[in-house]
Structure 1
């Protein structure tokens, strides 16, 4: 809507006002508001050029457009007083219409925040219910509950990881399932990868445990805990050469770590026994 000569400006404004019903049917309240703002500006600037009948018709179009917009749910939410067109009070109405987009955006943002808060609260309550099912020894019911929860919050890596932690001391296989979901949603979640490494080691799936720790170390390169636990994978699987190499790397980072020193002595002794 670019301003041209007065006659063209009035003509464009009238055309848009005539189309207000279609604009609102398309659900484009912002465009409807812009239409009225444009029409009001045109009338304030050049309404004196209209003859009496033209002015009356233009005012009727403005009145209809304002009334229709006033019934929009978003507009009603943010309007303390009903919108209405009153001749000779166009400037006041223009000010209110210019404020509407900002008020509507603020209202939408507030509702979005409230909805997100409710969503987070519901998630926390359902997570707690699953925790209680575990405490009551209803393991299968808890797992089924957690799976439904994850379906309702797709891509929520932190949620999946938290469920994995809850299951860690109860069932490593189910724990791994949820940790894998966490990593799929967030490949940089090195904590879940490391926990997977522990779980895989405890069920003696050493290749998967090694892969999990290696992936975690790609994200957190010199994490001494990950390296030390990786060395335990190698010790448990009898891979003494890799165990020695990993423990030496641990001691390079922290020469004072006594468990790593004892682990290196243990792995080195086994290597000598095999020669």
Structure 2
């Protein structure tokens, strides 16, 4: 997932926190900016599905917020393919609000985003220096400040993965899944981490949850194929590579995977 899409998810995740703090303007600005990113970014199907669920949840929070109902008499709805219309509605709503308040909200959002970036970078530096406890302290403090930011937890997990701290990465991915239990992307990442930890059966369970949410992601089936390679289940490797190629017949690595599985199966038959 691109950095822009991660940014969009983070903005959607922050809406709940802003409304809890009675910060309506930042919540609306966050939603507007997130939809703007979604509109201008090409999405594959499972990403569209994830964002559709996230937008529905965010709009439900806004529509039921007393402050929002006072300034917006209509119920905002998200319809697939009509994101531009929703973006226009939000823009008109923001234009109706005081310009200075909107500008202030945008400045606050930028300041908060800068804070997250700086602290994530600081935590990454500490991990690179082997100062694991110090890094954990920075990340824990950051999440206390942004408790509803699912993508912040995901980004922390990625930093731990980058430094081969699989156990900690799994912990943060699990926390992110508690916030967003319908994310195929998160189930996929948990499956990958568990594979690296040698927990093949658990890895398979998480991958299958990802498949139930996203059946058209060639990369997901390729990742499951990598699990079965480590597990030495060659028929399953062949099956997953084939499914990946059915979705994307130009997937060179999946074709190589299937050829590898065929060779292993043939060798197994010869030894039988």
**Per the shorter chain, which TM-score range?**
0.5 to 0.7
Equivalent residue for 1:177, pick from 159, 171, 174 = 171
CA drift at 1:217: 2.6
**Root-mean-square deviation (Å):** 2.7
Q: Which has the higher contact order (CA 8 A, sep 6+)?
A: 2
Change (3 A) 1:266 1:255: farther
Equivalent residue for 1:243, pick from 231, 237, 254 = 237
Tell me, yes or no, if the aligned pair for 2:217 and 2:247 is still in contact at 8 Å: no
Show CA shifts across 1:140-173 (max 9, x none).
Answer: 2112221221122112122111111111132111
Equivalent residue for 1:210, pick from 177, 187, 204 = 204
TM (norm. structure 2) is 0.56
Change (3 A) 1:242 1:272: same
Tell me, yes or no, if the aligned pair for 1:200 and 1:209 is still in contact at 8 Å: yes
* 2:118 corresponding residue in structure 1: 125
CA drift at 1:184: 2.4
SS in 1 for 2:258: helix
CA drift at 1:107: 4.2
Change (3 A) 1:261 1:104: closer
Equivalent residue for 1:198, pick from 192, 203, 207 = 192
- Between the aligned partners of 1:104 and 1:261, the Cα distance in structure 2 is 58
Show CA shifts across 1:83-103 (max 9, x none).
Answer: xxxxxxxxxxxxxxxxxxx99
Computing the radius of gyration from Cα coordinates, the structure with the larger value is 1
* 1:98 corresponding residue in structure 2: none
Matches within 5 A, 1:56-135: 105-135=98-128
Equivalent residue for 2:132, pick from 124, 133, 139 = 139
Tell me, yes or no, if the aligned pair for 2:238 and 2:261 is still in contact at 8 Å: yes
- Between the aligned partners of 2:261 and 2:249, the Cα distance in structure 1 is 12
SS in 1 for 2:216: coil
- Between the aligned partners of 1:270 and 1:225, the Cα distance in structure 2 is 27
Change (3 A) 1:218 1:274: farther
Show CA shifts across 1:70-93 (max 9, x none).
Answer: xxxxxxxxxxxxxxxxxxxxxxxx
Tell me, yes or no, if the aligned pair for 2:173 and 2:186 is still in contact at 8 Å: yes
- Between the aligned partners of 2:219 and 2:246, the Cα distance in structure 1 is 13
CA drift at 1:111: 3.2
* 1:269 corresponding residue in structure 2: 266
The unaligned stretches of length 5 or more in structure 1 are: 1-101
- Between the aligned partners of 2:267 and 2:214, the Cα distance in structure 1 is 30
